[in-house]
Structure 1
Amino acid sequence: MQKIMIFSNMYPTQKHPTYGIFVKNQVELLRSKGLDVEVVAITDPAKGKLPNLKKYLFWFIRSMMHMIGDKRRTTLTHAHYAFPTGVLSLIGKKLFRLPYVVTVHGGDIDKMAAKNEKIRAATQKILQGADAVIVVGDRLKKDVIERFGVDQKRVHVMSMGVDKEVFKPMQKSKARQELNIPENEKTLLFVGNMIEAKGVLELVDAFKIIQEKYPVAKLHMIGSDKDEAFMHIFAKRLLDNDVRIIHHLPMPQKEIAKWIAAADVFVLPSHHEGFGLVALEAMAVGTSVVGTDVGGLSYLLSDGAGILVEPKNPQSLAEGLIQALSEPEDKRCNVMQRTAANHSYEVIAKRLMTIYEEIEKTRMKKS
């Protein structure tokens, strides 16, 4: 295998350390296995019509130049997100006969393809033209096969994996000591973008109920607050409920792992979720997870691995959180560790490299 070219419309930098961190983690994993991986990605999360137009145009030009320059050395391209990223891989296949893999993360199917018929048609063409389609959850597999007509033999269910060197069981008392969290505090933790789709408004409403039962409870939220309009709505909801939360800006994964270890419960009240990688990371640390019964979370938290609640329902969310807070800490430990082991980096790397190798073998037979 010569070179794998990765396209992504999200990739972290020192300035924006969590922007597409899951893509970077997989890239570094592949490199650690000896693969030659080149990344052509967008690293600026700035929004707005003009900034978006500029960064996507520049990214398209850079991607084309990389494919033209390295087409003879490149084994295949791998696009993260079907649209718009997959357009690059589709062009690469048509112009330079480069086979490609697409990883569907959820938003590209649930939201992007639903914007209009042209994007949906382009998404379908990208998925049907791919040599392999990776979906991060079972529900997405069903969607890709039934809604977009992709041959199920080319669809693989595979999460982005959990780094068990970072997200691993830690002593709660030690984590709390380092983070200055009192031992008697009931600590709830949310990690994700501060946006409506992550269910943070319902979380505020639910936390109001939690505080009535646990007066010393605290809600810590780690995530980007770049959507100023929504943050005004969020602040008003806090005032209306007379609730205070502790908000932390995005931080390195090792710090997030420490916060997860210090928490009594990890909560992910999303309205939709392709997989819910951060919930898996919490499970790997050993912290109980409460999540909404949507998308990949429905599968990830099934069979006692976590507590599933109704989406967009603060009362159901509060009941799930109270259940988690009242359970023995080790009740779900074994099933959580088994689930995390099934998604370890070693397992993911082996499966991903097998997909690459099969595509390369097929290409060699055709040439």
Structure 2
Amino acid sequence: MKILVLSNMYPSPAHKTFGIFVKNQVEALKEAGHEVEVIGITNPLTGKKNVISKYLRWITETKMKLIFSGRKYDVIHAHYVFPTGLLALLFKKITGKPFVVTAHGGDIDRMAKKNPKIRQWTEKILQEASHVVAVGEALYQEINEDYQISKDKLSIINMGVNRDVFKAYPKKKIRRELQIPDGVEPVVFVGNIIREKGLSELVEAFKTVKEKRPQVELYLIGASRNQAYREELNQLMGTGVHFIEPLPQKELAKWMSAAEVFVLPSHIEGFGLVAVEAMSCHTPVIGTEVGGLRYLLRDGSGVLVPAQQSARLAEAIITVLENDDLKQQLIEKGEQKASENDEKKMIAKLERIYQQIS
């Protein structure tokens, strides 16, 4: 099958983690035997001049593809409802080709709420799509109920975890490789260094944890997209907090395996794939009761705490660190959850949708 993927986030050699989850899905589709082309924005830089420039270039490239070879594709797959879905809708109007749109969370939770016009476009794209994919259960319910998208054209399919990459390494051995000193209990976060990821609360919580367990160290791994916020975090930090620049996924798997506990304290989260990746590395996960995390971590797969409450977060981290039986339970339940969300299973679901609509 010939598939054109459109995305406003896609990695490049200079920005290897920008939209890496989209690239992972593209590579998995290729491995499954499909012919996949991508038109994506590979520049994560913000600022009015950067945003205008990169979006104009992306739109122009997409229009040229539409004019010269738009009819050769069997299906168009857009990641993020607005603005990417607009380009997929243009393909449909001109070529009649079906399109799938994947809602990742921010497009519904933030973008669609910016103003009535964007909300209107979001609704139009969802209605015109041949099929809508939501990456999490909460997102699925919101699209079904608030946008009146029927369940027969709506599916829950997250981006899936590559279990060949995200696998457990022996903790002692991998800590030595990563030069984590003996006796240290690593607490790890992976994601963009932005306020919405709950890092202010995590840093405050860590101070409390550190007072009770001096051997704990906090490792924040990700891109600092907002330098002003990074400086704010620097002011909040006490001792024992380490910033690490974005890493390749194989290296992330090592850090996740090395962690005593993985923490994802987001304010909003469409699904929380990074939490499943940590589970796949056999590390207990603590997350906030928001978006897809509410469903992902229920039933003992992780520990849930209220968002933006550093005291509750600190309490949860201490509880997990001090309870070996709880750790083992979380590891076992997490392994089951990781297996359920194996990338190969998600790709099979996506292939069935492509077949149905084409």
Root-mean-square deviation (CA), in Å?
0.9
Q: Is the 8 A contact 2:199 2:265 kept in 1?
A: yes
Q: Distance in 1 between matches of 2:135 and 2:173?
A: 33
Q: Is the 8 A contact 1:204 1:243 kept in 2?
A: no
1:316-335 mapped onto 2 (5 Å cutoff): 316-328=312-324, 329-335=327-333
Task: Please state whether the residue corresponding to 1:60 is helix, strand or coil.
Answer: helix
Deviates more, 1:68-77 or 1:348-357: 68-77
1:72-111 mapped onto 2 (5 Å cutoff): 72-111=71-110
Q: Is the 8 A contact 2:216 2:240 kept in 1?
A: no
1:352-367 mapped onto 2 (5 Å cutoff): 352-360=350-358
Taking only the aligned residue pairs, the percentage that are identical comes to: 46
**Could you list the runs of 5+ residues in structure 2 that have no partner in the other structure?**
none
Amino acid at match of 1:339: K
Does residue 179 of structure 1 match 2:175? no
Does residue 291 of structure 1 match 2:287? yes
Task: Please state whether the residue corresponding to 1:25 is helix, strand or coil.
Answer: helix
Q: Distance in 2 between matches of 1:255 and 1:358?
A: 38
Amino acid at match of 1:4: I
* Corresponding residue for residue 241 of structure 2: 245
Amino acid at match of 1:349: I
* Corresponding residue for residue 274 of structure 2: 278
Q: Is the 8 A contact 2:260 2:283 kept in 1?
A: yes
Q: Is the 8 A contact 2:103 2:135 kept in 1?
A: yes
* Corresponding residue for residue 315 of structure 1: 311
* Corresponding residue for residue 125 of structure 2: 126
Provide TM-score, normalisation by structure 1: 0.95
Deviations 1:107-135 (A, max 9, x none): 00000001000000000000111011000
Task: Please state whether the residue corresponding to 2:62 is helix, strand or coil.
Answer: helix
* Corresponding residue for residue 344 of structure 2: 346
1:36-51 mapped onto 2 (5 Å cutoff): 36-51=35-50
- Deviation of residue 69 (structure 1)? 1.8
Q: Is the 8 A contact 2:194 2:225 kept in 1?
A: no
Task: Please state whether the residue corresponding to 2:6 is helix, strand or coil.
Answer: strand
* Corresponding residue for residue 162 of structure 2: 163
- Deviation of residue 158 (structure 1)? 0.8
Q: Distance in 1 between matches of 2:322 and 2:77?
A: 45
- Deviation of residue 94 (structure 1)? 1.0
Task: Please state whether the residue corresponding to 1:71 is helix, strand or coil.
Answer: helix
Deviations 1:205-224 (A, max 9, x none): 10010011101110011011
- Deviation of residue 182 (structure 1)? 2.6
Deviations 1:242-291 (A, max 9, x none): 34411000010000100011110000000010000100000011000000
* Corresponding residue for residue 5 of structure 1: 4
- Deviation of residue 327 (structure 1)? 2.2
Aligned residues: 356
Task: Please state whether the residue corresponding to 1:123 is helix, strand or coil.
Answer: helix
Q: Distance in 1 between matches of 2:181 and 2:328?
A: 20
Provide TM-score, normalisation by structure 2: 0.98
- Deviation of residue 179 (structure 1)? 0.7
Q: Segments of 4+ in structure 1 off by > 4 A? A: none
Does residue 260 of structure 1 match 2:286? no
- Deviation of residue 80 (structure 1)? 0.2
Task: Please state whether the residue corresponding to 2:74 is helix, strand or coil.
Answer: strand
* Corresponding residue for residue 211 of structure 2: 212
Amino acid at match of 1:25: N
Q: Is the 8 A contact 2:209 2:318 kept in 1?
A: yes
Amino acid at match of 1:108: D
* Corresponding residue for residue 364 of structure 1: none
Deviates more, 1:220-229 or 1:63-72: 63-72
**Could you list the runs of 5+ residues in structure 1 that have no partner in the other structure?**
361-367
Q: Distance in 1 between matches of 2:89 and 2:129?
A: 8
